[in-house]
């Protein structure tokens, strides 16, 4: 076990330093890059907070979509690896035209959209808030995952 601060608290400390001390002291492209760097830290914090839940939800959706129930690996690296493989299988099936027709087309789109929404909830939640005010015919914003 590590001592306080937790990794999230350390990341927050670095983020705060960049935002309040570094960005105001710079100009031009370096200022822009410093802002990007602070934003990258917020992405990492949201990913750390949400990864486990998102990976498992994606896994269970794939069980439904692929009509193949597998137990999720308990090791996080194995889970990511196996998810990647199963997603590649899904891509192969889409390439072969299996998702061209309903009802599977709708099932696949719903899963893929939710996976993309989960990605955006980590990478850029503001984008999702803008999306949810558009009439997109059934899109639901991701879970509230602000760090």
Partner 1 sequence: MQNRLAAFVARQVGTETVSIHGLRRLAGGASREIWALDLQYEKDGLRVALPLVLRRDPSTAAVDTLRQHEFRLLRAAYAEGVPVPRVHWFADDVETLGAAFFLMDRVDGETIPRRLLRDDEYAEARQLMTAQLGRTLAAIHRIDRVAHHLDFLAAPAPGESSAQSELDRYEQIFRFITPDPHPAFELAIRWLRQRLPGGDRLTVVHGDYRIGNVIFGREGLRAVLDWELAHVGDPMEDLGWMCVRSWRFGHDDKPVGGIGQREEFFRAYEAASGTRVDPERVRFWEVLGNLKWAIMTIMQAKTHLDGHVKSVELASLGRRTAEMELELLHLIEA
Strand, helix or coil at 124? coil
Contacts for 38 with CB less than 8 Å, ≥ 6 apart: 15, 18, 19, 23
CA within 13 Å, CB half, 46: 21
Instruction: Give residue for tokens 């602070």.
Output: 38
CB of 6 or CB of 30, closer to partner 1 = 30
Exactly one of 20, 36, 60, 70 binds partner 1 (CB under 8 A); that residue is 36
Instruction: Give residue for tokens 């390439």.
Output: 95
Exactly one of 37, 48, 57, 107 binds partner 1 (CB under 8 A); that residue is 37
CB of 9 or CB of 89, closer to partner 1 = 89
Count residues near partner 1 (CB under 8 A).
Answer: 36
| Strand runs labelled E in the chain | none
Rounded CA separation 77/13 (Å): 27
CA 5 to chain centre: 25
Window 61-120: residues binding partner 1 (CB under 8 A): 84, 87-88, 90-91, 94-95, 97, 99-100, 108-109, 112-113, 115-117, 119-120
CB of 6 or CB of 116, closer to partner 1 = 116
Q: Interface with partner 1 by CB under 8 A: which residues?
A: 32-33, 36-37, 39-40, 43, 84, 87-88, 90-91, 94-95, 97, 99-100, 108-109, 112-113, 115-117, 119-120, 122-124, 127, 130-131, 134, 136-137, 139
């Amino acid at each position: 076990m590590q001592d306080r601060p937790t990794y999230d608290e350390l990341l927050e400390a670095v983020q705060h330093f960049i935002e309040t001390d570094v960005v105001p002291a710079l100009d031009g492209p370096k200022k822009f890059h410093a802002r990007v760097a602070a934003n990258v830290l917020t992405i990492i914090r949201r990913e750390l907070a949400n990864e486990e839940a998102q990976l498992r939800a994606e896994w269970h959706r794939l069980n439904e979509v692929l009509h193949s129930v597998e137990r999720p690996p308990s090791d996080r690296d194995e889970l990511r690896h196996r998810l990647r493989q199963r997603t590649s299988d899904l891509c192969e099936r889409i390439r072969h035209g299996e998702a061209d027709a309903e009802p599977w087309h709708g099932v696949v789109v719903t899963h893929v959209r939710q996976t993309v929404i989960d990605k955006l909830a980590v990478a850029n939640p503001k984008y999702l808030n803008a999306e949810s005010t558009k009439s997109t015919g059934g899109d639901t914003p991701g879970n509230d995952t602000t760090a």
